[in-house]
Amino acid sequence: LGNLSGDPYILHTNVFIQGKGNREQQFYLWFDPTRNFHTYSIAWSAQHIILLVDNVPIRLFKNAESMGVPFPKNQPMRIYSSLWNADDWATRGGLVKTDWSKAPFTAYYRNFRASTSTSTSTFSDSAFQTQELDAYGRRRLRWVQKNFMI
């Protein structure tokens, strides 16, 4: 999400189930995403969805259907990435307006891959089949949520 020069960038996440979101979480990024390419990943299993940035878990959405919380399981996964004018709410609560003199606005993607399985050091070898975070991954998730979650 937009920012003032020098302010941290905000990553906005949401999980949609049966067409409904309302599961937003936002995170200050601990780096400037405009300086270099970064890896944004989603590990999705029947147990949970894990969102990662540069192999660091930032969000864990657990399957809590047994407690009445919907979980996305009845339709294929879709990924959306967009640039849109949300300066009425997203940019510091609407305080910062879009500078249209800098248009057009563009996003670049490099080495985009979508696959049904992959290997990452965030998961231990034995836990990867169920996509459980290992001890290091759980510590990193707590670090991000404590220091960067809004």
Q: Which domains does the chain have, with CATH numbers?
A: 1-150 (2.60.120.200)
Per-residue HEC secondary structure of 39-86 comes to CEEEEECCCEEEEEECCEEEEEEECCHHHCCCCCCCCCCCCCCCCCCC
Q: pLDDT tens, 70-80?
A: 998 887 777 77
Determine if the pTM surpasses 0.75: yes
pLDDT at 47 > cutoff 50: yes
Look at the block and give the residue holding tokens 């990924």: 79
pLDDT score, position 126: 44
Give me 82's structure tokens: 């967009």
For residue 1, give the H/E element and its range. Answer: none
Cα–Cα distance for residue pair 45/138, rounded to 1 Å: 17
